[in-house]
Structure 1
Amino acid sequence: PARAARADAAPLMTAPAPPASASSLARQLRFFWAAMVVVIAMLSVLVIRQGNAFLHSDDATAPVEVETATGSVAPDIFDTLPLIYMAIKADGPEAARVATSLRAGLAGFDTIDFIGRDADATRDRSADPVSFVFDLIPGPAAGDVMIELQSVATGRVLLSRNLTSAESAPGAVESNIANLLTSTIPASGAIYNYIDQSDIRTGQIGCLVLNDRYYLDQSAKTHEAAYRCLEKLVGEGTKSSLVYSEMASLHLEAVNNHYAYPPDATVEQAMSFAHRAIQMGPMSPHAHRAYGYLNSRLGNTDEAIRWMRKAYELNTYDLGMAAAYGYGLIFAGRYQEGTPILAHAVEAFSGHPTWWDYGLFVGAFMQGDTKKAAIASESLRTTASKSHYLAARLIGAKISGRDKLASELANELTAEFPKFAANPRAVFVDRKYPADLTDRLVQSLRSAGIGNPS
């Protein structure tokens, strides 16, 4: 009976208890799910906190870099130039020639960014305030091609020019496109004027406008305004060769005209800026022109001509580069070569700077074309007097037989530039004028009462 009792009792003691492995597994599962709940709760809190932080941070409103059609990020307004597109909506051989010439010309200017594709398909709408499009449409007569330049943002027509079949013929189309582009694309042209008047210019565009104003009205005030603006861009790390090339030219202007700013300007520093411009823009016409200009100041005539010719070759559609090349030839003593080039630029573009007129005066004067020399000298009127401009105007007045005006100019020259009036030869020699030009100018000024007789 006792054995039986123990046998009957055994099941009562062992049946309710599960095996040890099953109990351990159940505990582990409970811990696992509890841990998962905690992890999920923590992740939820973290996500909510990050979302709130983003919504209340400055980064929430920061612009996002967006890939453009060309594969680069949205343009930085710091170094932005006007964006130019071209839309061809005319057919025929005349339209094809105009389009080819226009494309070649636009590609040579470094004062713009030319987008050589369809305007509607590729333009970056974020840059619309400084975006423009050349539309080529059928003209009023058979074979005519109408060229319209419009602002992308406003639709404002800045230029409308109809080229007849004769004007778009081979041998003529390049010259007509050059005249059109020179009046619209450089800093003195219609596009920059429109941007300036609309008060939407970017840093670089604004500085180039000020730079152009100096050459149209050369004074210490306009020079300093342009120089300080470009200097600020250099200090902020500009990557534009155009800025450095114009800085080089302005620096040399400070040396030549003894401007107070920048202090202690030197030809060496100007050359440093020009060299930097060449490094940054090996295909930049402006950089090559600046380097040529500095070489002429150093008396390196052959080098000056080589660099200016290169600038002209890089963009034969820019009359400004043609003028610089002609000017360089004239002041190298090659008057017969340089004068026609410069004369064409002056006649084609009415909004040119005064140094074009001075170069034309010298070229015509040395070739014995007294009428053209006198006319060119009349254009040398600026708000700030310059010794060599007054000298040219004095010579022009004497040539024209305007004795009263000549007397007034002689008195002004003596009063404002006594050192020049006492010894003009020294100034011309210092500026590296050709010897025959120096002799001829000194002789003419002496007959007008300027300079010592020795």
Structure 2
Amino acid sequence: MAPTREPSDDQVGSAFVHPTAAEGHEQMERILADPTFQASPRRRALLRYLVEETFAGRADRLKGYAIALAVFGRDDKFDPQFDPVVRLEARRLRRDLDGYYAGAGSHDRLRISIPKGGYVTHFAWQGEARSLASPLEGQPERGGLANAEAVPEVAHAAAAELSTERTVDNGAGDHPHRPAIQHSAFVAAALVAILVVGIAGAAWFWLLRDKYTDALARGPAVIVLPFEALSSGEDDRFLAAGLTQELITDLMRFGGFRLFSLPASFRQDANADPVALGQRLAASYVVKGNLRSDARIVRVGVQLIETRSGQLLWSETYDLSMTPNALLSVQHDLSTRIAAMLGQPYGIVNNDAASHLLEGDAPSMPSYDCILRAYAYRRTFSAELYAPALKCLEESVRRDPQYAAAWAMLGWLHLDAARFDWAPEGRWEAEFEQAFRAAEHAVALDPTSALALQALSSINYYAGRHDEAERIQRKALKLNPNDPDTLAQLGWRLAARGKWDEGIPLLQRAIDRTVSPPGWYFHLIVVHHYLQGHYREALAAAERARIDGSGLSWSFLAIAHGALGNQYAARQALAEMAARSPLLARDPAAAYRRHQAIDTIVDRLVAGLRKAGWTEPRSSVPSQP
């Protein structure tokens, strides 16, 4: 790389003195190569494109349409009114750059930014003047691959911008022979300047406050303290630092809570008091850990602590074999296991937050609380939980229309209105249409949101577009391969379509990685065992599925008991099934087909219900294929 040219004194802090192309490209490569730079691959491509086009003299062509075609693969039919991809990704890239300059890039001499309102890159020399502003440290950032948003990054950028102002002596200072009126004018000008700065400061305060309020509304803040190496070996120190970094990266794949950045985490003491940390940083949860190793194993201990009370919510110890070439493999395996345990929709963090909600605590995070309510409903698909969750989500998208997760969940609930008969039959088509619109809007707001893609995939599946549903779900799984809910959804749908060889292992992986799996994770495992004649295994899985209380789970329990000759238990299960699902009691074939199961599965399940004691009601209309 070309050596960086030292700016002259009058250039430091100036946003109007451009570097050479070599200097600009060198700074861009420095940013892209830094491991703490959190931008996704396509935002990295966007940064490179904007910098190169600016230096190529084509800044005037940096419009949304041209960028969409060149960077995001859109065709000439692209319409920014309906596809906000450029605007959204540019906004996220601004945050990525702010985060970089708040941490690893705080001492870089050259700052690259993309001012709002356009896509032309700007450059400003950073120097001694920057130290005049006191940086705001330790504020929470949002997690997720596509939602690494941080309020303090904006504050850092503001501080950097304010600190670039330099006092220039132009001979107009106070002088004993200068007329008094000139002195008065100077004082008046100073007062005006103070007033302007005060107004600007107030504007920044309200901007940051609103941004911070939005972030808080979308979930609790989590900070991962640097893991402590308890033995003195160099490998242990390397593993501890690597595990901390990889765990933060893996946790960021999960939505639902905000995550502190790598620099913010590594600035903390490994043994910092969680309660004090929570008060100082407004963090809700602290993850801390330690490790020691010998020639045979590495032992890692991890804890999750709630900062409001200091309560230890979860603790686990992992022992893994250590071989000479296994260091990075151990680090990766541990990180993915811990991240899934903590970050999944039914994981430790969300379960604890949901418990506070159920205890009646005031909703300090209203948008996030709506997501928790929706997940609680989706655990059991209970009619009692449906209406409150739907109302909460509708209020959430009105209050926070840019919140992709709320739109995604809203799409799922509109789908449920049709597939679970929560709405009259005459409204099913309209509910499907609303479901599609909400999920597609969620994807448009955040194309890298696994939750938004999952919702869109589910709606496609129930609309009979099975290949498209599978394609979208695999895309969601690629974004976060450690999320049990994404694994379970794909596995469930593959198995229901008869693709057992891939579907069942995915479901089993989801169950193994979940603290408290929802009942529907076991549905197709029950069916698979039953079709193979493994009735005792089917009964064991059906007992675990029954925790959700759904009519579908009770039907599987009845089938398993009937296959084993447990007629009394089978009749009880049939009664529970009928109470929860009149359609299953009236026309089970139609109920199973509604979930897109293939005919082979439907026929065998209906035969199993007959053996359990189900008989077709006399007034029932035969199901249509």
Shift, 1:152, TM fit:
5.0
Pair 1:169–1:439, CA change in 2 (3 A): farther
Q: Please state how far the C-alpha of 1:243 moved relative to its aligned partner.
A: 1.0
The percent of aligned pairs where both chains have the same amino acid is 23
SS of aligned partner of 1:76:
helix
- In the alignment, does 2:559 pair up with 1:395? yes
Aligned partner (choices 108, 119, 126) of residue 265 of structure 2: 119
Q: Quick one: which of 492, 501, 504 aligns to 1:339? A: 504
**1:110-146 C-alpha deviation (Å, 9 max, x unpaired):** 2223333132649997894444333232348773232
Deviations 1:290-331 (A, max 9, x none): 111111101111111111112112111211211112112112
State yes or no: 1:185 paired with 2:343.
yes
Taking a change above 3 Å as real, the CA distance of residues 73 and 348 of structure 1, as seen in their structure-2 partners, is closer
After superposition, the C-alpha distances for 1:199-233 in whole angstroms (9 at most, x for unaligned) are 36401221122122112333112111211111101
Distance 2:575 2:354 in 1: 39
Question: Within 2, Cα distance between the matches of 1:148 and 1:416?
Answer: 40
Residue 376 of structure 1 corresponds to which residue in structure 2?
Answer: 541
Q: Given the alignment of the two structures, is residue 423 of structure 1 paired with residue 587 of structure 2, yes or no?
A: yes
Residue 423 of structure 1 contacts residue 451 of structure 1 at CA under 8 Å; is this kept in 2? no
Is the alpha carbon distance of 1:336 and 1:368 closer, same or farther for their aligned partners in structure 2, counting shifts above 3 Å? farther
- Aligned mate of 1:313, from 465, 473, 478: 478
Distance 1:73 1:146 in 2: 36
Residue matched to 2:286: 133
Alpha carbons 1:94, 1:145 under 8 Å: kept: no
SS of the equivalent of 1:358 reads helix
Kindly provide the amino acid, as one letter, of the partner of residue 108 in structure 1: R
Distance 1:124 1:272, change over 3 A: farther
1:232 aligns with 2:395: yes
Q: Deviations along 1:72-112, whole A, 9 cap, x unmatched?
A: 96453564322233332333454356345423421211222
Q: Is the 8 A contact 2:345 2:485 kept in 1?
A: no
Counterpart CA distance in 1 for 2:289 and 2:321 is 17
Where does 1:148-227 land on structure 2 (aligned, <5 Å)? 148-152=303-307, 155-166=310-321, 174=332, 176-197=334-355, 199=361, 201-227=364-390
2:340, 2:482 within 8 Å by CA — same for their partners in 1?
Answer: yes
1:251 pairs with 382, 397, 414, which one?
414
Letter in structure 1 aligned against 2:437: S
Asked if structure 2 preserves the Cα contact closer than 8 Å seen for 1:271 and 1:291, the reply is yes
2:223 aligned residue:
85
**Matched residues in 1 for 2:238 and 2:277: separation?**
31
* One-letter code aligned to 2:598: P
Specify whether residues 244 and 143 from structure 1 end up closer, same or farther in structure 2 by C-alpha distance, changes over 3 A only. Answer: same
8 Å Cα contact 2:554-2:577 kept in structure 1: yes
Residue 356 of structure 1: CA displacement? 0.8
Amino acid at match of 1:111: G
Find the counterpart in structure 2 of residue 447 from structure 1: 611
Q: Distance in 2 between matches of 1:339 and 1:235?
A: 39
Residues in 1 aligned to 2:501 and 2:533: alpha-carbon distance in whole angstroms: 11
SS in structure 2 opposite 1:372? helix
- How far the C-alpha of 1:357 sits from its partner, in A, is 1.9
Q: Distance between the aligned counterparts of 1:411 and 1:156, measured in 2? A: 43
Deviates more, 1:119-128 or 1:267-276: 119-128
| 1:411-437 alpha-carbon deviations (Å, 9 max, x no partner) | 444566554334322222333211211
1:401 to partner: Cα distance: 3.0
What residue number does 2:91 align with? none
SS at 1:247 equivalent = helix
**What runs of 5+ residues in structure 2 fail to find an aligned partner?**
1-178, 230-235, 269-275
Name the structure 2 match of 1:105. 250
* Structure 2 match to 1:9: none
CA deviation profile, 1:231-258 (whole Å, cap 9, x unmatched) = 1011123322111111111221121111
How much has 1:61 moved relative to structure 2?
10
- Find the aligned partners of 2:316 and 2:547 in 1 and give their Cα distance: 31
The runs of 5 or more residues in structure 1 that have no matched partner are: 1-31, 55-59
| Paired residue secondary structure (2:417) | helix
Equivalent-residue separation in structure 2 for 1:116 and 1:130 (angstroms): 12
Partner of 1:3: none
Query: Could you say which residue in structure 1 is the equivalent of 2:467?
Result: 302
Partner AA of 1:64 in structure 2? F
The SS at the match of 2:285 is strand
Task: Determine the structure 2 residue equivalent to 1:281.
Answer: 446
> Match of 1:337, SS?
helix
Encode CA deviations 1:386-425: one digit per residue, 9 max, x unaligned: 2x22211110211333211112223444566554334322
Aligned to 1:349: 514
The Cα RMSD (Å) is 4.0
Distance 2:335 2:266 in 1: 23
Q: For 1:393 and 1:62, how far apart are their aligned partners in 2? A: 61
The match for 1:23 is none
Q: TM-score, length-normalised on structure 2?
A: 0.57
One-letter code aligned to 1:105:
D
Output the amino acid matched with 2:613.
Answer: G
- TM-score, normalised to structure 1, is 0.76
User: Structure 2: which amino acid aligns with 1:102?
Assistant: L
Give me the whole-angstrom Cα distance separating, in 2, the residues matched to 1:95 and 1:323: 31
Is the CA contact 1:174–1:317 (under 8 Å) kept in the aligned structure 2? no
Q: CA 1:407–1:67 in 2, change beyond 3 Å: closer, same or farther?
A: closer
The one-letter code sitting in structure 2 at the alignment partner of 1:352 is: P
Aligned length: 406
Q: Is the 8 A contact 1:119 1:133 kept in 2?
A: no
Distance 2:487 2:594 in 1: 26
* Structure-2 residue corresponding to 1:64: 205
Letter in 2 for 1:184: L
Provide closer, same or farther for how the CA distance between residues 153 and 121 of structure 1 changes in structure 2, counting only shifts above 3 A: farther
Change (3 A) 1:222 1:422: closer
Query: Which AA in structure 2 matches 1:76?
Result: D
Counterpart of 2:568 (choices 391, 394, 404) is 404
- Kindly indicate whether the alpha-carbon contact (under 8 Å) linking 1:179 and 1:349 is maintained by their aligned counterparts in 2: no
Q: Distance in 2 between matches of 1:419 and 1:165?
A: 50
| 1:283 partner SS | coil
Contact 1:254 1:260 survives alignment (8 Å):
yes
- After TM superposition, give the deviation of residue 158 of structure 1 in Å: 2.9
Matched-pair contact (CA < 8 Å) for 1:425–1:438 = yes
Matched letter for residue 469 of structure 2: A
SS at match of 1:133: strand
* Counterpart residue type for residue 212 of structure 1: Y
